[in-house]
Amino acid sequence: MTPDEMKQLAKLLQNMPGLKTIELKDVTRLAALLRESPDIGSIEVKGLFGTGIVISRTSNGPAVIAAPPVLAAPMALPVSSASAAAEAPPAPAPAPSTLKEIRSPMVGTFYKSPEPGADAYVAVGTRVGPGQPVCIIEAMKIMNEIEAEFGGVVREVCVNDSTPVEYGQVLFRVDPNG
């Protein structure tokens, strides 16, 4: 990360809700930590109610979770192996190259059915076509029906019902040749 990119990141992070201040030196320390530790897969800075820093590992080892909120004070990134192993979901297996992925177009809560108690839109083995609803993602109290962009047979449902999803997270893996 170049110094200019770090300055831009620091400015963006200062505008995040829930983060009062973040300084360039803090961004520099996070970038250095990411660069120096190949076992760290990502560093997330969260605002609002999840204010703090989340660090995840690329290996199957324990993850560093929930650092204190980022303020002007120096940051400490504690390593919590027992609670991190309990809270961190297992890393999904890499997808075979023949499967296509249906990814979340937004941040929200994943629902497999149109209403509680109803049958799921799709399950493993269900054939889907382009434009067919596959799930709902609730964002800001709005229910957004997510449609398949291509046809095929659902081979994997990657998210549990009523769980939060991130933008770009894999929801389903579909075999277009099935």
Q: How many helices (H) and strands (E) does the chain have?
A: 3, 10
Q: Domain of 75?
A: 3-87
Do 70 and 12 lie in a common domain?
yes
Tens digits of residue pLDDT in 23-40: 667 777 777 777 777 666
pLDDT at 131 (0 to 100): 92
pLDDT at 33 (0 to 100): 72
Residue with the larger pLDDT of the pair 160 and 45: 160
Residue 48: Cβ within 10 Å count: 9
Tens digits of residue pLDDT in 112-171: 999 988 999 999 999 999 999 999 999 998 999 999 999 999 999 999 999 999 999 999
Q: Give residue 178's pLDDT band: very low, low, confident or very high (50, 70, 90).
A: confident
Q: Give residue 13's pLDDT band: very low, low, confident or very high (50, 70, 90).
A: low
Q: Work out how many domains the chain is built from and give that number.
A: 2
Residues 6+ apart with CB under 8 A from 87: 65
Q: The CATH number of the domain where 169 resides is what? A: 2.40.50.100
Residues written for the chain: 178
pLDDT at 46 (0 to 100): 61
Q: Which ranges in 47-142 belong to alpha helices (H)?
A: 81-87
In the chain the first and final C-alpha atoms are separated, in Å, by: 42
Q: Using alpha carbons, list the distances in angstroms from residue 168 to 33, 141, 143, 153.
A: 25, 20, 18, 21
Question: Could you say which DSSP state residue 74 is in?
Answer: P
Residue ending a domain, among 87, 108, 127, is 87
Do 45 and 7 lie in a common domain?
yes
In a domain, 80, yes or no: yes
Do 131 and 166 lie in a common domain?
yes
- Tell me the residue type at 152: G
pLDDT at 68 (0 to 100): 46
Do 113 and 62 lie in a common domain?
no
Residue with the larger pLDDT of the pair 116 and 2: 116
For residue 6, the surrounding DSSP H or E stretch is: helix 3-14
Rounded-to-integer distance, Cα 40 and Cα 57, Å: 4
How much is the average pLDDT of 34-59?
Answer: 63
As given in the structure block, the two tokens for residue 140 are 């800001």
Tens digits of residue pLDDT in 54-107: 666 655 444 444 444 444 444 444 444 444 445 555 666 554 468 999 999 999
In a domain, 83, yes or no: yes
pLDDT at 56 (0 to 100): 61
Do 34 and 104 lie in a common domain?
no
Do 82 and 104 lie in a common domain?
no
